[in-house]
Amino acid sequence: MSTRMRRSLNLWRWLIPGLRVKRWLLLALIGATLFVNGLSRYLTDEGYSLSINEMVDTVVSEFFPPGYLSWIFMVLGVLLVGLGIWRWLNAIVTAVTPEGSSRVLDAIMERRLESGYRIVVVGGGTGLSTMLRGLKRVTTNLTAVVTVSDDGGSSGRLQKELGVLPPGDIRNCLVALADDEALVTSLFRYRFSEGEGLTGHSFGNLFLAAMTGITGNFDEAIKVSSRVLNVKGRVLPSTLAVARLCAKLTDGRIVEGESQIPQARGTIERVYLEPAYAAPLADVITAIREADAIVLGPGSLYTSIMPNLLVDRVALEIEAASAVKIYVCNVMTQPGETDDYTAARHVRALTDGAGARVCDVVIVNDELPRKLRDLYAEEGQVPVQVDEAELRALDVRVVRAAVISETETVRHDPERLADVVIGIVDEAVATRASYVRFRQSTTPTTPSAPSPAT
């Protein structure tokens, strides 16, 4: 059978009774006829010789003044065309998708999100999940690069007892990017309060540990879990190596273990991994190279962000990437970790610890409400001072914005923070495109070589 014949048969299939589409097409056709008839009357009144559907015109003119007929026909025609097309599309959509138009709208939104910016977010803890929760509204091309150095709580126990990498921060990111976040949050954060060996463990951590046992690989367990939870984006551990985070303090003490570093209550000179070499995940390196933006934080400077930068090649790949590099500075200092740190000292610590330039833009919060200042001062925390002169000396652009939630605690607001990040990426992408066009317009074309004489 030829292609033309198949197309003809497909057209005739629209005439099969019971499809509930022909009636709405007919209604739209009637509306179009009325509109054209009204338009023709209007144009005829203006001096043009045009006459359509004279029979309809003659019958209806007995009930309405001739002067109003053209407008009545045009308005009624537009309404019938709109109603017919809308009901026709609705009949098709309802037949194709059981959920109806809402599912089609979801599909359109998903397609838009799939074409969004490619953003890599580096960090750990609750700060990383906050950033992801805001960004997933504008793009699903998200890659969360997560630290796996947590050795406290349920994650630390599972690492010691089962030998799996700490799943806590991974769990939080999966929850933040899950399609049904409310249900997954309740399920994955549920902690057992009784049962031998289960007390204190969260369901999400046990789920990832069990999935690791089934798949035989922590990375594969995350991928399978992402499919089960319909995660919007990717969650990747920065490394699959088992490495302990250690800190050298200015008083000479060595503190081993992420959970122990803030408890030491000293001034950190540097942090490092033990053993020093930790191979990066190949997907992490690829994501960094292809990114439009790389976001560091928000999160604890030394125990959430820095462990990822200590993984082999990660910091150097960030430095070499064409993406705009954004650091979300903490709003408050952290006792035992960043006491008395200014914004510039945060940036300098990142650069020195990573051994590479990993920050082009720093986002800092605007003025903190007085009541929150007093509340946190009792716990030894103060707002991070924004020393713009020092930041400019580091060749870093400063973006000040209101990025915290108006609550009784100091937390970054997911939507506000995401809006600021996307604004920075918009500017960076536009600037990059302008530069490329400029280079193309100023690059001289190489004249073709003359053909040799024969």
Q: Classify 326 as helix, strand or coil.
A: strand
- Residue 74 parent element (H or E): helix 66-96
The reply to whether 70 and 121 lie within a common domain is: no
Are 273 and 164 part of one and the same domain? yes
Is 104 domain-assigned? no
At a CB cut-off of 8 Å and minimum separation 6, what does 317 contact? Answer: 285, 288, 289
Q: Is residue 277 helix, strand or coil?
A: coil
CB burial of 347-376 (b: ≥16 within 10 Å; e: otherwise) equals bbbbbebbebbbbbbbbbbeebeeebeeeb
CA–CA gap between residue 150 and residue 12 (Å, rounded): 65
Q: Is residue 10 part of a domain?
A: no
Identify the pLDDT of residue 281.
96
- Residue 38, domain member (yes or no): yes
- Say yes or no: 245 and 367 in one domain: yes
Let me know if residue 4 belongs to a domain: no
Res 3: pLDDT: 63
145 and 215 part of one domain: yes
Distance (Å, whole) CA 3 – CA 11:
13
Q: What is the CATH number of the domain that holds 220?
A: 3.40.50.10680
Is residue 178 located within the same domain as residue 327?
Answer: yes
DSSP 3-state of 292? coil
Length of the chain measured in residues:
454
CB 296 within 8 A of CB 123: yes
Q: Which of left, alpha, beta for 26 (phi over 0: left; psi -120 to 50: alpha)?
A: alpha
Domain assignment of residue 6, yes or no: no
Of 38, 65, 96, the one marking the end of a domain is 96
3-state secondary structure of 395: coil
Check whether residue 47 and residue 179 sit in a common domain.
no
Domain shared by 135 and 49, yes or no: no
Q: How many of the other CB atoms lie within 10 Å of CB of 22?
A: 15
Same domain, 426 and 327: yes
Domain that holds residue 79: 15-96
Residue with tokens 């020195």: 352
Q: Which amino acid is at 134?
A: G
**Backbone φ and ψ of 15, nearest 5°:** -90, 0
Predicted confidence pLDDT, tens digits, the chain (454 residues): 566 656 555 655 655 665 567 788 888 888 888 788 777 766 665 444 444 455 555 655 566 555 566 777 788 889 988 888 888 777 776 665 655 555 555 555 566 667 799 999 999 988 999 999 999 999 999 999 999 988 877 777 787 778 788 898 999 999 999 887 777 778 888 888 776 677 778 898 899 999 999 999 999 999 999 998 889 899 999 999 999 999 999 999 999 999 899 999 899 999 999 999 999 999 999 999 999 999 999 999 999 999 999 999 999 999 999 999 999 999 999 999 999 999 999 999 999 999 999 999 999 998 877 777 877 887 788 999 999 999 999 999 999 999 998 676 788 999 999 999 999 999 999 988 776 766 677 766 555 555 555 4
Position 153 scores a pLDDT of 76
Give the Cβ contact number of residue 434 at 10 Å.
10
- Please indicate, yes or no, whether residues 197 and 222 belong to a single structural domain of this protein: yes
Residues 75 and 169 in one domain: no
Confirm if 254 and 83 have CB atoms less than 8 A apart. no
**CA dist., res. 112 & res. 407, Å (int):** 32
Q: Say if residue 298 is preceded by a cis peptide, omega within 30 of 0.
A: yes
Element (H, E) at 244: strand 244-249
User: How many structural domains is the chain composed of?
Assistant: 2
What pLDDT shows up at residue 338? Answer: 95
Degrees, nearest 5: CA angle 207-128-389: 165
E strand map for 88-228: 119-123, 142-146
- Residues 78 and 133 both lie in one domain: no
